[in-house]
Amino acid sequence: MHGKPRPPATAGEAIARMDQYVALGLVGQQEVAQLLGINVTDLTCLAHILAACDKPLSAGDLAGLVNLTTGAVTGVLNRLEKAGYARRQPDPADRRRVRVVADPEAAARVIATYQPFYDRLGAVFAEYTPDEVAVIADWFGRATVEMRAHLARVRSGELDPRPGR
């Protein structure tokens, strides 16, 4: 398979397109959360729970992934359990800890909400060569590392733009 010719783009143009995609994704997450009857933070946590599949996360693992306190994650898990999306189960290796798993029926409903979009993205990826897809995947992986580092600086207050701070 040969890739299609593509118009040239600068790094700045690529970043601008990424910003547009991210902004639209934020709006989309709000709309999906509303559709599912939960808030965006809960949806973000649910996404991590679903991604863990057969390796359930501890509440502490989840807290680290979404930068929440374990107390805040307890509230998230209470809401997700009440809404029927997730449940806690004892950790077989350490009875003092719990693991979080998605309810299979609820997981199927969430996946069904996203699947049409994923199918469309699959069609977009099909227009690229395997080498091009590898570059895209590599870029997203590396960009994720950079985003985590940037967010750590934001959280530390190092980048606070407000006067006098």
The single residue listed with the structure tokens 């199927």 is 108
Euclidean distance between CA atoms 87 and 109, whole angstroms? 16
Euclidean distance between CA atoms 116 and 48, whole angstroms? 20
Residue 1: is its pLDDT beyond 60?
no
Interior angle at CA 15, CA 26 and CA 2, nearest 5: 105
- Count of other CB atoms within 10 angstroms of residue 124: 9
- Quick one: fold of 12-103? Arc Repressor Mutant, subunit A (1.10.10)
67 φ/ψ sector (left φ>0, alpha ψ -120 to 50, else beta):
left
Predicted TM-score of the model (pTM): 0.85
108-141 confidence digits (pLDDT tens): 999 999 999 999 999 999 999 999 999 999 999 9
Residue 82: is its pLDDT beyond 60?
yes
